Chains A and B, each alone.
Chain A
Amino acid sequence: MTEKTRSENAFSLRRRELLAGMASIPMMSMLGGPVRAQDYPTAEVNTTGLAVTDDTVTVGILHSVTGTMAISETGSVQAEKLAIKQINEMGGVLGRKIEFIQEDGASDWPTFAEKAKKLLVNDKVASVMGCWTSASRKAVLPVFEQYNGMLFYPTFYEGLEESPNVIYTGQEATQQIIAGLDWVAKEKGAKSFYLLGSDYIWPRTSNKIARKHIEEHLGAKVVGEEYYPLGHTQFNSVINKIKLKKPDVIYAIVVGGSNVAFYKQLKAAGIDMTKEKPVLLTISVTEDEILGIGGENIVGAYACMKYFQSLDNPNNEAFVAAFKEMWGDDIVIGDVTQAAYLGPWLWKLAVEKAGSFDIDKIKAALPGIEFDKAPEGYVKVHENHHLWSKTRVGRARDDGQYDLVYETADLVEPDPFPEGYQ
């Protein structure tokens, strides 16, 4: 079923792309200097009544700045505001300055849906950067599809979704899991794994993929799999179990406040991650989380992400410097924050490629967009609206940063519906 719709889409996309491309040929030939708004008359670049004027274009930012998720989403808001500021300094999008309307999802999924509707229907925003949890994304998805909006979603997530109205700038599950497991099996000779997670869809789906990969592709053994309710604060029993089973790798996908409790108690129970065994590999602890956990409690653990603040490349140096200048020297930047930063840039590139703010033309333009100024290096939008990106493994230092120990040689293809892993 999906195969057919996908190929149809691809065809119509190509046709639209062609039309859009032809439309922009005369303009391109006039270019050379900075893009001027008068080269793109508002009536032509905005045929669907979006909030675009002769010198501004309005986008929406929709994250939780209050409630329990504010802890995670704050970084994304900061990154998106930085990207918008930088784009404006470079002359904006099609000569128009980006203005933003920020709405607060308040960590409440129905509120997210309501605010998304407000942004799309009342404010007519040209795109929305937002959401963090899968639950909030699922809540706004019908709104974006009904009112034909464009959402840039930054978080690494469990996959199993592909909407024409969403660009997923974070990794889907296979991008985050498989390369990391391959690495730990090869480099550390890992033969036995203990899977552990918070009890909701992302850790469960991720561990399902991890288990399949461990058992079927690596020929190793899963000696335990456990889930704890969100917000659980007592991990002594599971730590005892881990000590008895003596796995080579503890694969942990614990989130939120539980994270802090888990690592503090692991350390207190005498599991020293700076030693050779056991290896602790996590996909849920970014630099942001370490702030709460405390570097001394997690030093030596490995994390599998696509971005670390410590990445050594010119794009990232510029990004980190700009981020600190805007938000203060003490700030840390985690994987999701970087992915959120990509949202406005990818949208800008798509608008310029399409020569229009119209959602349908942007949708057509997005697959194939390349962004080589990304702090993580170079990314490219896949047909399935996820990003091609590298998988990296870092080792936690006691100052709360990661040292890069491994990265895939090539970009990893996003595969939100992995065959044989479900």
Chain B
Amino acid sequence: MFADYSWSELGSIFAMQGFAGLILFSVFVLMALGLAIIFGQMGVINMAHGEFMILGAYVTYLCSNFFSTYLPALFGIYFFVAMILAFFASGALGALVEWGLIRHLYKRPLDTLLATWGLSLILQQAYRSIFGAREVGVSLPSWLLGSWPLTDLIEIPINGLFVMSLTFLIAVGVYFLMFRSRLGMQTRAVVQNRVMAGAVGINTERVDRMTFAIGCGIAGVAGSAFTMIGSTGPTAGQLYIVDTFLIVVFGGAASLLGTIASAFTISQAQSTMEFFLSGSMAKVLTLLTVVGILMLRPEGLFSLKIRR
């Protein structure tokens, strides 16, 4: 396995693979954070999570068209505007969906699975009708393209660095939101005991709507960022949904820290195995490992110890 390579090449392999794993880790965390809030904190199985991401991607696409037509001078920074708009667009749609659909189903969590699955189909067809069935190409400002050569072999993709720092910022933001803000405290209170939270004067309906909207908004930002590395089409959201649920469930549904730990484990395992095995086999082994661990620890890596 290693015999084909020289020592310096082996060093480069580990550096490059480590970095590839870190990029994958950031991508996974970004995908999963929104769902971790919605699924983990509220118990809503949101099958339309991928479609909220793609809404963010389409917002980015519209932004890039708008800037290249009307404000070409500012094209270099359009991506930041796009991400903010993506957050609000997906968040607003999320709030609307919570109001029209999800809030009627809190007592029937399994039905949310069907309802949001239907929602995901409706959204896909809506994107297809509005933007066309074909994938759209999102043009990026030139500073986001290309790579930064360290040595002959090691090159650091700039968009990878960008996704990593974005993930870091959003993760820190979510941490402050959930553990240091009033809304976060209220959310956690509602999760732990809805009736009691209502009794002490928390407006549980408002908390639910805000939480769901924020989860969707983060999905929108993730979708916006993924235009750099993936495709933007009506059904592209489906590419992410399985991995996203995998990470959230493996990490322990109610724990944000668990989500991060699980994203790290899965991404490192997968990118290392992809290097030494083929892509399909790496996926199979990753899934087998996850299934095995979940059999031993059905609650996931980290579980909240609360009395239900």
Contacts and interface: CB of A to CB of B under 8 A. Distances in A.
A and B: partners? Answer: yes
Interface of A: 65-68, 70-71, 74, 199, 226-229, 231-234, 236-238, 240-241, 243-244, 256-261, 264-265, 267-270, 288-296
Given A237-B274, A270-B155, A71 B135 contact: yes
Given A74-B132, A236-B24, 14 more contacts: A65-B133, A237-B271, A237-B275, A244-B12, A257-B135, A257-B230, A257-B231, A258-B231, A261-B231, A264-B228, A264-B230, A268-B145, A270-B146, A270-B149
A244 B13 contact: yes
Say whether chain A's binding surface is mostly helix, strand, loop, or mixed.
Answer: helix
A292 B229 contact: no
Given A244-B153, A269-B147, A228 B280 contact: yes
A166 to B, nearest CB: 25
10 interchain residue pairs of minimum CB distance: A292-B135, A260-B231, A236-B20, A228-B279, A268-B157, A237-B274, A70-B133, A270-B147, A294-B137, A270-B155
Interface string B235-246: 110111000000
Contacts of A265: 157, 229
Nearest to B275: A237
6 contacts: A227-B280, A234-B270, A240-B13, A244-B5, A261-B230, A291-B136
Nearest to A263: B231
Contacts of A71: 133-135, 233-235
B115 interface: no
Contacts of A70: 128, 133, 234
B16 interface: yes
Contacts of B240: 233
Contacts of B132: 74
Contact of B24 (A234, A268, A295): A234
A296 B230 contact: no
B145 A292 contact: no
A257 B236 contact: yes
B158 A268 contact: yes
Contact of A227 (B125, B153, B279): B279
B230 A68 contact: no
Contacts of B149: 270
B139 interface: yes
Given A70-B234, A244-B13, A291-B134, A296 B280 contact: no
Interface in B144-193: 145-147, 149, 153, 155, 157-160
A49 B228 CA distance: 55
A289 to B, nearest CB: 8
Given A71-B233, A244-B153, A231 B137 contact: no
Given A228-B280, A240-B275, A270-B146, A234 B231 contact: no
Interface of B: 5, 9, 12-13, 16-17, 19-20, 23-24, 27, 125, 128, 132-139, 145-147, 149, 153, 155, 157-160, 226, 228-236, 238-240, 270-271, 274-275, 278-280, 282-283
B125 A66 contact: yes
Given A71-B135, A229-B280, A244-B9, A236 B23 contact: yes
B233 A292 contact: yes
Nearest to B283: A229
A331 to B, nearest CB: 10
Contacts of A291: 134-137
Given A241-B275, A260-B231, A294 B139 contact: yes
Contact of B279 (A74, A229, A264): A229
Contacts of A68: 235, 238
B238 A231 contact: yes
A367 to B, nearest CB: 35
Contacts of A270: 146-147, 149, 155, 157
Residue picked from B230, B238, B271, most chain A C-beta under 10 Å: B230
A296 B139 contact: yes
Contact of A240 (B16, B24, B128): B16
Contacts of A256: 231
A257 B233 contact: yes
B278 A226 contact: yes
Contacts of A67: 235
A243 B16 CA distance: 10
A156 B154 CA distance: 37
Contacts of B20: 234, 236-237, 240
Contacts of A296: 139, 145
A329 B5 CA distance: 52
Instruction: Give the one of A71, A227, A234, A256 with max B CB within 10 A.
Output: A234
A267 B230 contact: no
A310 B182 CA distance: 61
A227 B159 CA distance: 25
A264 B278 contact: no
A283 to B, nearest CB: 19
A154 B147 CA distance: 39
